[in-house]
Amino acid sequence: MNRVPDEGMVLVPGGSLFTETPEEGRALALTLARHTIHNIQPDLDILKGGRPNYSTTPDSLTAAAHVVAIEFQTIAAANNYWRS
Amino acid sequence: MNRVPDEGMVLVPGGSLFTETPEEGRALALTLARHTIHNIQPDLDILKGGRPNYSTTPDSLTAAAHVVAIEFQTIAAANNYWRS
Amino acid sequence: MNRVPDEGMVLVPGGSLFTETPEEGRALALTLARHTIHNIQPDLDILKGGRPNYSTTPDSLTAAAHVVAIEFQTIAAANNYWRS
Amino acid sequence: MNRVPDEGMVLVPGGSLFTETPEEGRALALTLARHTIHNIQPDLDILKGGRPNYSTTPDSLTAAAHVVAIEFQTIAAANNYWRS
Amino acid sequence: MNRVPDEGMVLVPGGSLFTETPEEGRALALTLARHTIHNIQPDLDILKGGRPNYSTTPDSLTAAAHVVAIEFQTIAAANNYWRS
Amino acid sequence: MNRVPDEGMVLVPGGSLFTETPEEGRALALTLARHTIHNIQPDLDILKGGRPNYSTTPDSLTAAAHVVAIEFQTIAAANNYWRS
């Protein structure tokens, strides 16, 4: 098996939900979602094999954006919405 | 590849969740959702190619509205619901 | 194109999440969800064309009710649940 | 058209999210979800026509239970979880 | 009709969201979800008839787990996350 | 029946939502989701039988990641986002 590299398996890269900016928080949301999937399916070839169909199907993209929105909700609350 | 312009790739345009009004907060929710999708699928031709089907399918529109509702929940909380 | 009238494109009609009653808050939730969809698909003929199928399909109605439930969650929190 | 009776169209029956008990709060959650659907599709014959299939399809029941769970989340928060 | 027994129709068994432990809170989340479904479809034969297909379909199990996660979110908040 | 081992049936392994780190919180979120499914479908052969299809279908992985995101939202709140 062509396995996802170790760093792609870390569930919370950096080990923290805190970020400097909303932009970084949003990037973390995307990463959390992706790394969950790596942990459920760590075979890179299977992941890459599914991408051509998934990434060109609007409903699949909407479903992925939904997960990112939920992850971001958690991260934004953790950062108190980056209020100064 | 005909790539989404750079400004469409920014995850949190303006770098902040704070807006003057609920209307602007709602517009930001729509933008956040769209830019997530740009980051997952940055090929404009693929995005445009999916639109005719997606945008005329009620269930796809409902799914998109669902994501916007979640994003707005975060933005509204960040803005303390625009209480004065 | 037979476009949704301008008032149907306003994302937050009235410009506020605050309402006098839960009933009005609920009506606002329905409106927010609908106006999101108008902004994604502003062609009235397409929207009307999808309605006969959508509105007679239980799973589509459930999905729409789900979005309204999320929008209402935000509005109810904004109004502090209409506690007096 | 055989229309849903007026009381089935009220979005928040009783005009309040407050209930005496969790049981009543849960019943209200079910009612809120149903009345949303009545407002989107007020034709009783269509609603009844969809029921035989919908109510015997596990995934449809799960989707309905999902909406009730969201509505209850709002109602439970409104009632401060019925803490005495 | 072979109806779900009365105790299976109670929406919030025990009449409270408070539990001694997270384990019991989680069990309550499962129960709440199931009893919602009993109230929408109280015919035991229909419920049992759908189970062989539903319970062997991963996506159906994921959808059910999703509802349980939402119910648990409410119960966990009610119990202040079982902080001592 | 080849049943899921007893430890896989515990709904909240460890009996607590509190973890030392976000990484452990995230792992708990994955576990909670999996154990819910074990409780709905405790037959290991059926679970394993569904995995080849489920784990190679992007939309199924997205749906699973969605549940994990919700579970993590609860766990992160319980841990006050691991603020020190």
Whether there are 3 or more C-beta pairs closer than 8 Å between A and E is no
Put simply, whether B21 touches A (Cβ < 8 Å) is no
Put simply, whether F65 touches E (Cβ < 8 Å) is no
pLDDT (tens digit, 9 = 90+) per residue, A17-32? 999 999 999 999 999 9
Whether there are 3 or more C-beta pairs closer than 8 Å between F and C is no
Closest partner residue to F70 (CB to CB) among E22, E73, E77 is: E73
Average pLDDT of A31-35?
98
Average pLDDT of F46-50?
97
3-state secondary structure at position A1: coil
Tell me how crowded residue E42 is: count the other CB atoms within 10 A of its CB.
17
Own/partner long-range contacts of A34-39 (Cβ < 8 Å, ≥24 apart): A34/A8, A35/A8, A35/A9, A35/A10, A35/A11, A36/A11, A36/F26, A36/F30, A36/F64, A36/F65, A36/F68, A36/F69, A37/F61, A37/F62, A37/F64, A37/F65, A38/A4, A38/A8, A38/A9, A39/A9, A39/A11, A39/F30
Whole-number pLDDT of residue E84? 82
Q: Which residues of F touch E65 (CB under 8 A)?
A: 33, 36-37, 40, 67
Q: How far C12 CA lies from chain B's nearest CA (Å)?
A: 5
User: Does position D84 have pLDDT exceeding 90, yes or no?
Assistant: no
Q: Distance (Å, rounded) from C-alpha E36 to C-alpha E45?
A: 17
Put simply, whether B65 touches A (Cβ < 8 Å) is no
Put simply, whether D51 touches C (Cβ < 8 Å) is yes
Q: Distance (Å, rounded) from C-alpha B66 to C-alpha B30?
A: 11
Q: How far F25 CA lies from chain E's nearest CA (Å)?
A: 14
DSSP letter, residue B5: P
Dihedral over Cα of B13, B15, B19, B20: its sign: negative
- Give percent above pLDDT 70 in chain C: 100
The tokens for A83 are 């209020």
Whole-number pLDDT of residue A84? 81
Lookup result for tokens 């790596």: A38
Q: Do C69 and D33 touch (CB under 8 A)?
A: yes
Q: How far F77 CA lies from chain A's nearest CA (Å)?
A: 8
Put simply, whether B67 touches A (Cβ < 8 Å) is yes
**Cα-to-chain-centroid distance, residue C2:** 20
Q: How far B19 CA lies from chain C's nearest CA (Å)?
A: 13
pLDDT (tens digit, 9 = 90+) per residue, D16-71? 999 999 999 999 999 999 999 999 999 999 999 999 999 999 999 999 999 999 99
Q: What is the mean pLDDT of chain B?
A: 97
CA atoms within 13 A on the CB side of F29: 35
Provide the residue count of chain C.
84
pLDDT (tens digit, 9 = 90+) per residue, A39-78? 999 999 999 999 999 999 999 999 999 999 999 999 999 9
pLDDT (tens digit, 9 = 90+) per residue, C62-75? 999 999 999 999 99
Average pLDDT of B5-28?
98
Whether there are 3 or more C-beta pairs closer than 8 Å between D and A is no
Q: Do F66 and A63 touch (CB under 8 A)?
A: yes
CA distances to C27, C31, D48, D49, E57 from D3, rounded to whole Å, are: 19, 21, 11, 13, 37
Residue type, B35: H
Compare all CA atoms of chain A with the CA of B11 and give the residue at the minimum distance.
A23
Put simply, whether B76 touches A (Cβ < 8 Å) is no
Compare all CA atoms of chain D with the CA of E60 and give the residue at the minimum distance.
D59
Q: Is the Cβ–Cβ distance between A76 and B17 less than 8 Å?
A: yes
Closest partner residue to E78 (CB to CB) among D57, D64, D76 is: D76
Query: pLDDT-based confidence at F84, cuts 50/70/90?
Result: confident
Put simply, whether F74 touches E (Cβ < 8 Å) is yes
Whole-number pLDDT of residue F25? 98
pLDDT (tens digit, 9 = 90+) per residue, E14-29? 999 999 999 999 999 9
Q: What is the pTM of this model?
A: 0.98
Q: Which residues contact F12 (CB under 8 A, 6 or more apart)?
A: E21, E22, E23, E25, E26, F32, F35
Dihedral over Cα of C6, C12, C15, C20: its sign: positive
Q: Is the Cβ–Cβ distance between C67 and B62 less than 8 Å?
A: yes
Q: Do D77 and C81 touch (CB under 8 A)?
A: yes
Put simply, whether C61 touches B (Cβ < 8 Å) is no
The tokens for D18 are 């407050």
pLDDT (tens digit, 9 = 90+) per residue, F12-29? 999 999 999 999 999 999
Q: How far A54 CA lies from chain B's nearest CA (Å)?
A: 10
Whether there are 3 or more C-beta pairs closer than 8 Å between B and A is yes
Q: Is the Cβ–Cβ distance between A12 and A32 less than 8 Å?
A: yes
Q: Is the Cβ–Cβ distance between C81 and D57 less than 8 Å?
A: no
